[in-house]
A and B are shown apart, each in its own frame.
Chain A
């Protein structure tokens, strides 16, 4: 009995509009609403809705034998609510079948795990809450943005109470080991790890329609044949991919939908594999060993590391500048600022600044609204400059409640007319009330 574990990522960023130097300080509207709405509606129609339907049909046909898992970023969910709510209904129907597991991730698909534990925790809690509110599930499995994982990150995730985490089965992490087993984190072995089998996952996600690929066309028979060739004691085949594979990266004409429709049948008929969710695998399988990942790995590009988002001067400066603002935001309650703070952390902004364009260029360029990484950088830094100005103006207020009271006292003390009232003040707690009294006094005082 061996398992196939399907996991699909669903994410769309709030893309920035063209924000010029002249806008800094003047215009606080950062997002390209037209573009974002247009893109998400398009992707929903080409991918999310039809593929969800395919999955629903398969679940109806095979009952609880067919299972998959998803993670949907908070910013994607927000955009669905704003621009195309039927997608949420479609995912709700999937949740109701009981055959679909929803994972937790960072709310804004951010790289916060690399910089700030507090922010990371905050975002994950927010995401978890949203999943519970919408789909009625309490996620026990976690995946970090773009499957970024390291020993330290795993430790933080375990601390938050998650049982399982997904990551990339990168060669430089596994060495000779195979991704088809359950592993665990080497600091906290309670955290079980499922590693992506990138060979088979990318066969579907990237190579499916490449006619130059020797194995093209990929039929379900061929694929199941490969599954059967895997050594019998290897327990799981983890197929992790971007949900947009179905309909966007691989267009319907390539036959990707037909592939998916036929796959469960083929698997059940000609192999001893079953479909399982990550939490089921966590229950059934024991880790064979811990894995050592001192430096973060990811599922991105050839290198499977962080260089898609960080590493060149542009990305590093933008990233450091962004997280330098975190301190200033402590105690801030302005909704708009907090919302912008979330949206600006989305990893896509740094992805667009990547300067390694060649073999992975196509994927980078796909939804990249900028022509060059330099434009991406300039645009982002302009927005960040305006954001910083707003934060500094708004959050000059000190943090503790006592300090707040003192701060509120200061203006009343300075006004000469109100000084008469200050002498009469006995209890500081009557602050708000006395302040209100001060207004009519000044008016009558002036009269």
Chain B
């Protein structure tokens, strides 16, 4: 399997999805070689390295799972590839890192990445290098299928297929259309399209995405399958749930990458509308991204900074803490292939408002759904959930049940079927 990231170093949904899927497959006795890019320092001259399962510092309370790790081989390829970053952004970041002598500052608000000077400054060069090393790994290992997640890995998948002759399955977690609206980068589009063409099977995370694949990439519908993402069972953290609540107002949360795709600007405008009616609510935008500074400025311009807070990127327990404090979770995504975060919110007993333009709206009944551009509807839904307790109660009751049925085992089952189909 070729991926971008894996726990504990997760910055977005893709890592979470890979983790869930991997766990599900491991439970079904599938052995996995998982390959990710990681920037090493200059002293490490290997092109790929094997990470022991014991080196994983995953703090999930998953003791039963420890034995499954024996079935996974985890390889890191030395590379500057970082997830969720397009070509222009990448070259800006690498040149910036060059100027600042590649020091990495852990900062919850600003974007800083660990870059190694040994690797490429051009994203496509890095993708090609990843492919090269990936195909070398393919040549020296035995396996039955190749599974590549999102466009950065497709060239690696294609190269591995030609080297080994094994079937290739590409997994679409997001397309260029989701990320960039109409201003797609043609090179990225081409890589995506080629990956889907060459693949034997294409998996999409929702019907929404499946339609995009068929219509915008011209792929034969017979080889495109939808496997919806799922959500992990809640980790048991009573000390967080029982934490005393110091803020009296209701809290409405947006948690995700602050970028065009996620519609943070609609959240800000809706927050403004709600605050005009009701001062007894606080809004929180948790996360970081290329639009963060713009959002901060807009909030200051609207003069709502007293009730609108930014927490920066939240990791680990802080995420649970944030959910525990929230009364409403909002995901106003412009185009969301799936969207795991509302499921995580529901798991923490938070009712959700999601955009209709998301994959997760296909599987959820017990959530308020609005069009992402409809700020009035968004404000209305938020207001309703805060003020009408019956609404919240209903969603929580039925929502819990709904997400309990969204298991990674089910998704893994479907993926396994697709594997078997491809290898027959």
Contact = CB atoms under 8 A, between A and B. Distances in A.
B107 A317 contact: no
Contacts of A25: 246-248
Contacts of A382: 309
Contact of B297 (A20, A22, A314): A314
Given A21-B284, A321-B306, A381-B306, A316 B300 contact: yes
B250 to A, nearest CB: 14
B109 A374 contact: yes
B300 to A, nearest CB: 4
Given A313-B300, A371-B107, A375-B109, A318 B305 contact: yes
Interface in A14-65: 20-22, 24-26
A372 B110 contact: yes
B109 A320 contact: no
A381 B311 CA distance: 11
B39 interface: no
B247 A314 contact: no
Contacts of A412: none
A317 B246 CA distance: 24
A256 B247 CA distance: 52
B27 interface: no
B216 interface: no
B300 A377 contact: yes
Contact of B301 (A313, A371, A388): A313
Interface in A363-410: 371-372, 374-375, 377-378, 381-382, 384-385, 388-389
B273 interface: no
Contact of A374 (B246, B296, B303, B318): B296
B309 A381 contact: yes
A86 B345 CA distance: 56
Interface string B371-401: 0000000000000000000000000000000
Contacts of B310: 21, 374, 378
A384 B109 CA distance: 19
A314 B305 CA distance: 9
B220 interface: no
Contacts of B306: 321, 381, 384-385, 388
Interface string B269-295: 000000000000000100000001100
Contacts of A320: 303
Contacts of B293: 372, 374
Contacts of A384: 306
A317 B309 contact: no
A372 B305 CA distance: 17
A342 B309 CA distance: 24
Nearest to A385: B306
A389 B303 CA distance: 18
A20 B311 contact: yes
B217 to A, nearest CB: 38
A371 B110 contact: yes
A378 B296 contact: yes
Contacts of A317: 300-301, 303, 305
Contacts of B309: 21, 24, 378, 381-382, 385
A322 to B, nearest CB: 10
B297 A313 contact: yes
A352 to B, nearest CB: 14
| Binding site secondary structure of chain B | mixed
A369 B312 CA distance: 17
Contacts of B46: none
A320 B302 CA distance: 12
A385 B321 CA distance: 19
A371 B105 contact: yes
A25 B244 CA distance: 10
A381 B110 contact: no
A374 B292 contact: yes
B219 to A, nearest CB: 42
A318 B296 CA distance: 12
A316 B310 CA distance: 18
Contacts of A26: 244, 246
Contact of A314 (B109, B300, B318): B300
B291 to A, nearest CB: 12
Given A374-B109, A378-B109, A24 B297 contact: no
A377 B284 contact: no
A24 B246 contact: yes
A24 B312 CA distance: 15
Contacts of B321: 22
Nearest to A380: B305
B311 A21 contact: yes
A374 B300 CA distance: 11
B181 to A, nearest CB: 25
Contacts of A24: 246-247, 309
Nearest to A388: B306
A377 B105 contact: no
Contacts of A21: 284, 309-311
Interface in B289-347: 292-293, 296-297, 300-301, 303, 305-306, 309-312, 318, 321, 325
A174 B312 CA distance: 46
A314 B296 contact: yes
17 contacts: A20-B311, A21-B309, A21-B311, A312-B297, A312-B300, A313-B301, A318-B300, A320-B303, A371-B107, A372-B110, A374-B293, A375-B107, A378-B109, A381-B306, A385-B309, A388-B306, A389-B247
Interface of A: 20-22, 24-26, 312-314, 316-318, 320-321, 371-372, 374-375, 377-378, 381-382, 384-385, 388-389
Top 5 nearest A-B pairs (CB, nearest first) are A25-B246, A313-B300, A26-B246, A317-B300, A313-B301
Interface of B: 105, 107, 109-110, 244, 246-248, 284, 292-293, 296-297, 300-301, 303, 305-306, 309-312, 318, 321, 325
